Structure 1
Amino acid sequence: MNTGKQFFTALEALRGIAAIMVMFLHTGGTLGPLPANISYLGVDFFFLLSGVVLANSYEKPLLAGEISPAGFLLQRIIRLYPLYLLSLPIGLLSYALQFGLEPLAGLLPRALLFIPNPNPEGPFPLNGPSWSLFFELWAGLLFALVLIRLSFRTVLTIALGAACITTYGASIGGNFDIGHQPGYLGFGFSRVLFSFSLGICLCRLHNVGKPTAANGNMTGLLVCGCLILITNIPASAFLGFPYFDLFICLVIFPAIVWVAMRTTQTGFIEMIFRWLGRLSYPIYILHGPIFSLLDSLRRRGFDLPASPAAGMVVVMAIFIVAGIATVCFDEPVRKKLKMMVSPNPPSTAPQSAA
């Protein structure tokens, strides 16, 4: 399957940073009280990156019939599911400590099948952040069946229309952090469709121009710094909350990704960027149940410290667990599953982990 696709090292680093920013948003008091910021937009950044990377890796093969939509969806399930399953025992223990064993009989089958739950704890109470994976898979299926066959203008129109719907929902909910609460699940579809479609447009623009990637270690570090600064903007720093979020997702995030796509990294910086990409999904999918378990233990009377110092120990532990899970579990399991599905798989570039 020779598609001429390109591996964007800087996007790997940006995905890792976005995962870290979202992780700090979900500390559950483990680091003590933290001021509210807009790091929830890291999820929108994931959706944008997925649109770019999946279009770059799969648009031509899907159009050429080299891979079917069902085959594409299977690839996405293989990419996302092993670590998600690994996180479920932690989520089960956390939920049982808070609510007992009885509700698990109904929750576990839905969690295994990725079916949202209509309860106050959120659509995926065993792993809160995994709500975005549900919409990620939905967007991937829509991409394989419909979006790849639409013109650039049509996809852009869909992105802008979804942006309007998301902004409407944000005007009710207060900001773009919607799609995972009871009553707002429908806005999750518009939220992912907005940024995912925009990512497809960015990829197509890049492929048309085919700009020569410049050696950009400093540029790569700069865009990573920009993402850190943006996601740490205090929630009280501006007015017109939904419209500020819209501006970030519609203008600033695409600009960061566009600059990152036009650079290559070398040496130590390239190694760090690639590792950030490898750890991004493990950090994202494992941190929620871990912080939830710590919170459940506190509720049960365990005297666990809640301070920046103690919290950073937990954060470092999550990094270590994510690295071990990546090397010893996720990557070997995915390799075996791919061999089972396709004994002679074509050579492909790394895929989106968002």
Structure 2
Amino acid sequence: MISSSKATSTTAIAPGKSHFEILDGLRGIAALMVVIFHVFEAYSDADPTRQIINHGYLAVDFFFLLSGFVIAYAYDDRWSRMGQWEFYKRRLIRLQPMVVLGSVFGGALFYLQAGGLFPRIAETPVWRMLLVMLLGCTLLPLPKALDIRGWDEIHPLNGPAWSLFYEYVANIAYALVLRRLSRRGLALLLVLAAGLLLDVALRGERRDLIGGWALDAAGVHIGLARLCYPFLAGMLLMRSGKRLRVRHAFALSGVLLILALALPRMGDTPHDWRNGLYDAACVLLLFPLIVAIGAGQKLAAGKSLRVARFFGDLSFPLYITHYPLIYLYTAWVVDQKVPPHIGAPVGVLLVIVAVLIAYASLKLYDEPVRRGLAARFLRRSADAPSR
């Protein structure tokens, strides 16, 4: 039976293998930065130059990089004794319970967000909201005809679920094709993926890597650009064995990640090419460096280990449940024209509440459900974890 840190880690369910605790902790730091980024976004008035914690959106690209690394680490050497369906079951058990909870939580808070910012909410009958919620539990991308919010999201009750859809796309691609490729083959695809990412970052309308949540040509283009390079880079980094062994690896990699996600918008205008260059440099160069540092030491020490494990366990529940609170907060700030000196304390409270909800979701729902599903649907084998 899968339990303890082997089940709660944000990595794949990886039978018989220890985890890179520092990488788990970095994922948790990135998730927290996403929440803070979204809180400040309520005051940006859709102007990226006014956004504080400006590059928090790049956390998604960092997640994809970590995913490529840990999935390759967890499963590359297991295909001789594991079929594709076993792999899919493990990934579904790891991710789907919280996907369902995120959609249900989004539905529960939906009508509380009604107002000038989201005029479609008041016009949406309950049956339509429930239909969107049920479809959201499957993680299938929803067409714009079912956009009951007005932000062109493929999951309008829980926007960040778009990146989980692309995570599943990457998982399927790994099981069907990518696991079979040599390092040279992966490197070739990586070069092509880098070109796609640079095209979006430097030639796209916004000169950044924001986007991917819309089910249209532009949205899919951005989503695939943000997925392909980091996921492939993570796989190649793991297979190459390139790790950097440094002292205080968790502290160093954590500080680098926070700085990368918090720096102001680059350039003088919302469409300045220098910001696109910064985004691309983070994904192409800096994030692989951070992962190489974090992977150079599997276990942190002392308090760092406890912090890394806590944030690692919390990362996925926090990421997938916080955004319904952000919808509520943003609608309040925008509709009521709330000044920052009043909104800031509420924003701090929101972050605290989001963490508490994530922790409760982890302990009371996610862990027990995954343990039950694993016991029922995953075959026991000699390399299964004992705890």
Q: Could you tell me the TM-score, scaled by structure 2's length?
A: 0.80
Secondary structure (helix, strand or coil) at the match of 1:61 reads coil
Per the TM alignment, residue 31 of structure 1 is displaced from its structure 2 partner at its CA by: 8.0
Q: Paired residue for 2:199, among 165, 168, 171?
A: 168
Is residue 2:355 matched to residue 1:319? yes
Per the TM alignment, residue 55 of structure 1 is displaced from its structure 2 partner at its CA by: 0.4
The residue aligned with 1:352 is none
The residue aligned with 1:126 is 157
The residue aligned with 2:287 is 253
Amino acid at match of 2:92: I
How far does the alpha carbon of each residue in 1:258-306 deviate from its partner, in whole angstroms, 9 at most, with x for none?
1111123122211111111000101100111121133446678798985
Q: Paired residue for 2:183, among 128, 152, 169?
A: 152
- For 1:29 and 1:321, locate their aligned partners in 2 and report how far apart those are by CA, in whole Å: 21
Per the TM alignment, residue 348 of structure 1 is displaced from its structure 2 partner at its CA by: 5.2
Per the TM alignment, residue 186 of structure 1 is displaced from its structure 2 partner at its CA by: 1.6
Amino acid at match of 2:285: V
Q: Paired residue for 2:55, among 38, 59, 72?
A: 38
- For 2:321 and 2:382, locate their aligned partners in 1 and report how far apart those are by CA, in whole Å: 30
Q: Paired residue for 2:257, among 227, 235, 251?
A: 227
The 10-residue stretch of structure 1 (275-284 or 189-198) with the greater mean CA deviation from structure 2: 189-198
Is residue 2:300 matched to residue 1:288? no
- For 2:174 and 2:358, locate their aligned partners in 1 and report how far apart those are by CA, in whole Å: 29
The 10-residue stretch of structure 1 (145-154 or 259-268) with the greater mean CA deviation from structure 2: 259-268
Is residue 2:294 matched to residue 1:267? no
How far does the alpha carbon of each residue in 1:119-169 deviate from its partner, in whole angstroms, 9 at most, with x for none?
242111111011000000110111011101011121122122122123223
Per the TM alignment, residue 182 of structure 1 is displaced from its structure 2 partner at its CA by: 5.2
Structure 1 pair 180–143 and aligned structure 2 pair: CA distance change class (3 A):
same
Amino acid at match of 2:280: L
- For 2:331 and 2:86, locate their aligned partners in 1 and report how far apart those are by CA, in whole Å: 39
Q: Paired residue for 1:178, among 211, 226, 229?
A: 211
Conserved? CA contact 1:220–1:260, under 8 Å? yes
Per the TM alignment, residue 242 of structure 1 is displaced from its structure 2 partner at its CA by: 2.1
Q: CA RMSD in A?
A: 2.9
- For 1:303 and 1:243, locate their aligned partners in 2 and report how far apart those are by CA, in whole Å: 34
Structure 1 pair 334–314 and aligned structure 2 pair: CA distance change class (3 A):
same
The residue aligned with 1:194 is 229
Conserved? CA contact 1:31–1:308, under 8 Å? no
The residue aligned with 2:29 is 17
Per the TM alignment, residue 335 of structure 1 is displaced from its structure 2 partner at its CA by: 0.5
Per the TM alignment, residue 219 of structure 1 is displaced from its structure 2 partner at its CA by: 2.4
Amino acid at match of 2:307: I
- For 2:51 and 2:204, locate their aligned partners in 1 and report how far apart those are by CA, in whole Å: 24
For structure 2, list consecutive stretches of 5 or more residues without a partner in the other structure. 1-12, 45-49, 115-120, 145-149
The 10-residue stretch of structure 1 (176-185 or 298-307) with the greater mean CA deviation from structure 2: 298-307
Conserved? CA contact 1:215–1:266, under 8 Å? no
- For 1:310 and 1:56, locate their aligned partners in 2 and report how far apart those are by CA, in whole Å: 41
Secondary structure (helix, strand or coil) at the match of 2:39 reads coil
Secondary structure (helix, strand or coil) at the match of 2:263 reads coil
Secondary structure (helix, strand or coil) at the match of 1:240 reads helix
Is residue 2:172 matched to residue 1:138? no
Conserved? CA contact 1:91–1:126, under 8 Å? yes
Equivalent residues, number: 343
Amino acid at match of 1:224: G
Structure 1 pair 43–118 and aligned structure 2 pair: CA distance change class (3 A):
same
- For 1:5 and 1:265, locate their aligned partners in 2 and report how far apart those are by CA, in whole Å: 17
- For 2:78 and 2:157, locate their aligned partners in 1 and report how far apart those are by CA, in whole Å: 35
The residue aligned with 2:118 is none
Structure 1 pair 2–11 and aligned structure 2 pair: CA distance change class (3 A):
closer
Structure 1 pair 348–269 and aligned structure 2 pair: CA distance change class (3 A):
farther
How far does the alpha carbon of each residue in 1:77-134 deviate from its partner, in whole angstroms, 9 at most, with x for none?
1111112211223311343343144242542343122121232421111110110000
Q: Paired residue for 1:278, among 297, 313, 324?
A: 313
Structure 1 pair 307–34 and aligned structure 2 pair: CA distance change class (3 A):
farther
Conserved? CA contact 1:61–1:67, under 8 Å? yes
The residue aligned with 1:78 is 93
Conserved? CA contact 2:14–2:75, under 8 Å? no
For structure 1, list consecutive stretches of 5 or more residues without a partner in the other structure. 350-354
- For 1:173 and 1:30, locate their aligned partners in 2 and report how far apart those are by CA, in whole Å: 22
Conserved? CA contact 1:48–1:195, under 8 Å? yes
- For 1:295 and 1:166, locate their aligned partners in 2 and report how far apart those are by CA, in whole Å: 30
Structure 1 pair 10–194 and aligned structure 2 pair: CA distance change class (3 A):
same
Structure 1 pair 310–288 and aligned structure 2 pair: CA distance change class (3 A):
same
- For 2:371 and 2:261, locate their aligned partners in 1 and report how far apart those are by CA, in whole Å: 34
- For 2:275 and 2:319, locate their aligned partners in 1 and report how far apart those are by CA, in whole Å: 25
Amino acid at match of 1:172: G
